Amino acid sequence: MAKDMTLLWGSGSPPCWRVQIALEEKSLQGYNQKLLRFDKMEHKSQEVMDMNPRGQLPAFKHGNNVLNESYAACLYLESEFKSQGNKLIPDCSAEKALMYQRMFEGLTLNQKMADVIYYNWKVPEGERHDSAVKRNRDVLSAEVKLWEGYLQKASGSFFAGKNFSLADVTVYPSIAYLFHFGLCEERYPKLAAYYNSNKDRPSIKATWPPTWLENPQGQDQLKDI
């Protein structure tokens, strides 16, 4: 089953990590995988372009089915292998609704995070403005406070109740990314507790970005958020 799957991925990429966590949660170890280097532009290789013409990672294939959008791949894996591994979509309609809501809100968090972390990379030097940097950081700060509030009001330890779900599969990598880039744990105690308590979850521990293991200190771009 897993032998029919191929994942091309990059270390530290939240979209790639989502798919890796989903595969582990569904007990689909043993799939074909290849770690590619963003700094060497390997995500623009012909191998990737053949699966994903956007030249982005992840590139995921199951049999003849290609799913390069991480959310699509996670939903597909849960649907296709619902009786295998851990159940990732709750039966309770209220929890299911919350799961989908938090899942897709995670895309907003990821975008606002990227607007801050990758500003200098995405915006040419002559087009950069201090006002834009401040605006992006203020927007991200408000977003992170929103997620801290979600956990304060949560009925369980996870984003959609008492059980680990697709909301956590998709959002945990972004929360981990925030802390890797210096988010203050004392300022956001609920998010920090969520981040630290799930580090040893088998699916997360098994897929922890190898580049982060090599450089556990991370960076400090978000220390003032």
Span 55-85, pLDDT tens digits: 999 999 999 999 999 999 999 999 999 999 9
The pLDDT value given to residue 148 = 98
Helices and strands counted in the chain (H then E):
10, 4
Q: Which of 95-104, 117-126, 188-197 has the lowest mean pLDDT?
A: 117-126
Residue 86, SS3 per DSSP: coil
Please determine, for residue 215, whether its predicted confidence score (pLDDT) is greater than 90: no
Cβ 187 vs Cβ 122: under 8 Å: no
* Residue matched to tokens 């990429």: 13
The pTM for the full model equals 0.95
Contact assessment for residue 2 and residue 25, using Cβ atoms and an 8 Å cutoff: no
pLDDT tens track for 117-161: 998 888 888 899 999 999 999 999 999 999 999 999 998 899 999
Helix axes 93-117, 166-180, angle to 10 degrees: 30
Distance CA 188, CA 192 (A): 6
93-214 CATH: 1.20.1050.10
What topology is assigned to 2-80 in CATH?
A: Glutaredoxin (3.40.30)
Which of the two residues, 35 and 216, has the higher pLDDT score? 35
Does pLDDT of 1 surpass 80?
A: no
- Per-residue confidence (pLDDT) for residue 2, from 0 to 100: 80
Place of tokens 């969520």: 194
Listed by start position, the domains of the chain span 2-80, 93-214
Sequential DSSP letters for 90-117: -SSHHHHHHHHHHHHHHHHHHHHHHHHH
Q: How confident is the model at residue 9 (pLDDT cuts 50, 70, 90)?
A: very high
pLDDT score of 199: 96
The Cα–Cα gap between 34 and 31 comes to 10
Average the pLDDT over each of 62-66, 86-90, 127-131, 183-187 and give the range with the smallest value: 127-131
Average pLDDT over all residues of the chain: 95
* For residues 158-182, average pLDDT: 97
